[in-house]
Amino acid sequence: MMQGAPRPAKYDRGYLRSGVRDGTEKTVSFILLSLSSGEDMVTCEDITERRRAEDLAIRTERLKAIGDLAGGVAHNFNNLLQMVMGASTSPWLIWKWETCPDSKKTLEELLKSSRLGAETVRRLQSFAQVRGESKPLKASVDLSETVKQAAENNEAFLENGP
């Protein structure tokens, strides 16, 4: 470079995390600027709170993503459980229990496992709702009506067999 010609300004940016006398930790952003006159200048800014807010936002987004994933898994698993529970409580199978005690025990174990799976689904859904988007639904179900409808739907199947 020629003598007397201004040199271009250059800068470096960085972050420094340091302990403070009171025991807390601060994060400081600094910019080192080399001026065209040959002098150097440093600017510093305490960004501790901004960094904490950014970290909290990242953790919140991650928790939301985990909640979304848990809700999706619970939904899919619940669909599978409904199929298993529906098939294992079909009127035809209940009728067959009397003729084959081993089948009855197997189906009872299947139902027990399905109920435990349903409890897992409820816990996953409860976790997913931590996001605050929805509240759990509570509903009453008339089981006698449900069984009656299932029997009516499967009447032809029961009369003719599998």
Residues sharing a CB contact under 8 Å with residue 126, sequence separation 6 or more, in sequence order: 136
pLDDT greater than 90 at residue 56: yes
Pinpoint the alpha helices (H) of 89-154.
Answer: 91-97, 101-128, 143-153
pLDDT tens column, 96-119 = 666 777 777 777 787 888 888 888
- pLDDT in the model for residue 50: 93
User: How far apart (Å, rounded) are the C-alpha atoms in residues 56 and 64?
Assistant: 12
pLDDT tens column, 58-91 = 999 998 888 888 888 888 888 888 888 777 777 7
Looking at residues 2-25, what average pLDDT do you find? Answer: 71
- pLDDT in the model for residue 152: 63
Average pLDDT over all residues of the chain: 76
User: How far apart (Å, rounded) are the C-alpha atoms in residues 22 and 7?
Assistant: 43
pLDDT greater than 60 at residue 122: yes
- pLDDT in the model for residue 117: 84
Higher pLDDT, 155 or 18: 18
pLDDT greater than 90 at residue 37: no
pLDDT greater than 60 at residue 6: no
Buried b (16+ CB within 10 A) or exposed e, 108-144: eebeeebeebeeebeebbeebeebeeeeeeeeeeeee
Pinpoint the alpha helices (H) of the chain.
Answer: 48-88, 91-97, 101-128, 143-153, 155-160
